[in-house]
């Protein structure tokens, strides 16, 4: 996922890892659970497994609310720095697919 080891309360489970791709499920058990501050070392795609909201701290003092739709992916380039938080009153998860440059 990143150049820093996340220290948040969300649970990351690596489902697939090979020399081209790493697929991780990130699970947030309650509102406010987070990934921890991190920087992405690879381009990646996120596929939400829920309808709801994530809150993103980009380090500028504000939290951005990002609406998610189950199964609708989005792409980000390497270098993104943030902390991702569950903005819902229910458990939620997403799949993160990293394109490894090994």
CATH code assigned at 15: 2.60.120.10
Q: What pLDDT sits at residue 7?
A: 77
Q: What pLDDT sits at residue 59?
A: 87
Q: What pLDDT sits at residue 22?
A: 98
The tally of domains found in the chain comes to 1
Residue 50 lies in a domain: yes
Q: Are 93 and 49 in contact (CB under 8 A)?
A: yes
pLDDT per residue rounded down to tens, the chain (102 residues): 554 456 799 999 999 999 999 999 999 999 999 999 999 999 999 999 999 999 999 988 889 999 999 999 999 999 999 999 999 999 999 999 999 986
Q: What pLDDT sits at residue 3?
A: 47
Residue 1 lies in a domain: no
Residue 80 lies in a domain: yes
Residue 2 lies in a domain: no
Question: Which domain, by its residues, includes 59?
Answer: 11-99
The beta-carbon contacts of 4-8 under 8 Å, at least 24 apart in sequence, are 4/36, 4/37, 4/38, 4/39, 5/36, 5/38, 6/35, 6/36, 6/37, 6/38, 7/36, 7/37, 8/33, 8/34, 8/35, 8/36, 8/83
C-alpha angle 29-6-78 in degrees, rounded to nearest 5? 110
Residue 4 lies in a domain: no
Residue 16 lies in a domain: yes
Residue 5 lies in a domain: no
Q: What pLDDT sits at residue 23?
A: 98
């Amino acid at each position: 996922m990143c150049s820093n080891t996340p220290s948040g309360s969300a649970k990351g489970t690596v489902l697939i890892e090979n020399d081209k791709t790493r697929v991780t499920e990130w699970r947030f058990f309650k509102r406010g659970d987070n990934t921890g501050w991190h920087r992405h070392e690879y381009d990646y795609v996120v596929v939400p497994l829920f309808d709801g909201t994530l809150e993103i701290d980009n380090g500028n003092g504000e939290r951005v609310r990002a609406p998610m739709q189950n199964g609708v992916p989005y792409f980000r380039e390497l270098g993104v720095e943030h902390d991702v938080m569950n903005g819902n009153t229910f458990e939620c998860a997403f799949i993160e697919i990293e394109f490894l440059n090994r």
